[in-house]
Amino acid sequence: MKSPVTVAVTGGAGQVAYSLLFRLTSGEVFGDDQPVSLIIKEVPEFVGTLEGVKMELEDCAFPLLRDIILTDKDDEAFRGANWALLVGATPRQPGMERKDLLTVNAASFRDQGEAINSTAAADIRVLVVGNPCNTNCLIAMSHAPDVPRDRWAALTLLDQNRAMAQLAIKSGRPVSEVTNMTIWGNHSATQYPDFENARIGGKPATEVIKDRDWLENQFVEIIQKRGAAILAARGKSSAASAANAIIDHVRSATTKTEGDDWFSAAILSDGNPYGIPDGLIFSFPCRSDGKGNYNIVDGLKLSDYARGKLDITTQELIAERNDVSELL
């Protein structure tokens, strides 16, 4: 039997984590022969809730689950972790601007970055989920100088999954036939879901869905505002779909990319082939070597329309970086 992989999850009492933790330990992420140890972190007032989550995990009798550690301290939350899934973050409150949300969460991600730097395993990989996830990832990474910068990513596979589903619904084809979908830029209402390079049944999506007006307007807006639409309809933010995307991301990063396809991940823009300024956590089309390493897919054609969309989301990320410059 292999040595356990240690996975740290923050925001452990939240809905996303509740949908995530059981799947992490079932074998569907790291394989049915890979034991898993969990470190689950929450803020002090919700640590008591974690006891119930721990009891449920134990009651599932997962053969691969080795240990469960509960904590409210950063210096315990990432000790020996091979994967850190930073789910926890203060949600946006009514009347709160995106800049306000950045300010509220910035210190927390600074502290988590420092703790990861000093206590995590040498092979640590980090996925930031708590919003605004791109810039939160940049803050945490900036405070972990000993962790290679290519070990960090922010979650945009949720947006990719949403985009693939909408293209499948519109075309009347199974979602399994939708490939080569990319989310560019920020996990926000400025993101660009790239329908021009997507394929459906092996054909360009624009040949299968000939309604260019729908693609440029309704489709893009649906993806950009999907989270808000779910919140309005459900009364709560995305949880199960977010957890599913986290699973998809970790599995994509730890499985060698085969064939002419890729997955979206927000990673450091330094040296990218698309002219995005350095120093941003920006979502690109990525492939994996199966060891948790990301490689940006090169050679995609971007129209003037697409370039315009990339510029908008780039400028937003630059503004966010400027807003937290004192923490970088």
Distances (CA, A) of 307 to 11, 270, 310: 36, 18, 5
Residue 132: is the preceding peptide bond cis (ω within 30°)?
A: yes
State the catalytic residues: 187
What is the Cα–Cα distance from 212 to 206, expressed in whole angstroms?
Answer: 7
Secondary structure (3-state) at 10: strand
In a 13 Å sphere around the CA of 287, the CA atoms on its Cβ side amount to 10
DSSP track, 182-247: -EEB-SSTT-EE--SS-EETTEEHHHHS--HHIIIIIIHHHHHTHHHHHHHHHSS---HHHHHHHH
What is the Cα–Cα distance from 284 to 286, expressed in whole angstroms?
Answer: 6
